[in-house]
């Protein structure tokens, strides 16, 4: 997989994370009381996990602080166990969002820097 496609995936991840942040801006209590917000956040985490699945292991290795396996497993759980979803677990993921966002931004910055270096060598 080329770096351009990986960068696209990382940008998509950042878009989804921004959506989750905007959906949950009013806090946990509002999140817990609004079924539409539950569904929106859960769907975004399904997409986040799917993007994580598509990233090659070599890209995931660039962010060892992210528990990629857990993130992908969370996606699979949300997609296949609608009847067992606990909102507190979803909210825990929301609370960890800044850490995931920082890791993805760092990965993207590394890719962008490598791309800029490649261009300067041409």
In a domain, 40, yes or no: yes
Residue 102 sits at the vertex; the CA angle it makes with 99 and 106, to the nearest 5 degrees, is 140
In a domain, 110, yes or no: yes
Is 72 part of any domain? yes
In a domain? residue 88: yes
Give the chain's domain count.
1
Q: Which of 43, 54, 80, 88 is catalytic?
A: 80
**Structure-token pair, residue 31:** 């999140």
Q: What is the pLDDT of residues 17-36, one digit of tens each?
A: 999 999 999 999 999 999 99
pTM of the model: 0.90
Residue 121 covered by a domain: no
Intra-chain end-to-end CA distance of the chain, in Å: 21
Measured CA to CA, the distance from residue 56 to residue 54 in angstroms comes to: 6
Active-site entry in 11, 60, 75, 88:
75
Q: What is the pLDDT of residues 51-63, one digit of tens each?
A: 999 999 999 999 9
Establish if 122 belongs to a structural domain.
no
Tell me the residue range of the domain where 63 lies.
Answer: 3-116
Q: Is 75 labeled as catalytic in the residue annotation?
A: yes
The answer to whether residue 31 sits within a structural domain is: yes
Is residue 28 flagged as an active site residue? no
């Amino acid at each position: 997989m080329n770096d351009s496609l990986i960068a696209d995936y990382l940008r998509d991840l950042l878009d989804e994370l921004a959506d989750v942040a905007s959906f949950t801006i009013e806090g946990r209590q509002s999140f817990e009381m609004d079924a539409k917000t539950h569904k929106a956040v859960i769907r975004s985490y399904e997409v986040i996990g799917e993007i994580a699945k598509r990233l090659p292991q070599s890209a995931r290795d660039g962010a060892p602080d992210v528990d990629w396996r857990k993130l992908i497993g969370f996606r699979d759980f949300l997609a296949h166990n609608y009847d067992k979803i606990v909102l507190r677990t979803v909210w825990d993921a929301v609370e960890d969002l800044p850490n995931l966002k920082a890791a993805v931004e760092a990965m993207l910055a590394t890719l962008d820097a490598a791309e800029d270096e490649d261009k300067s060598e041409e």
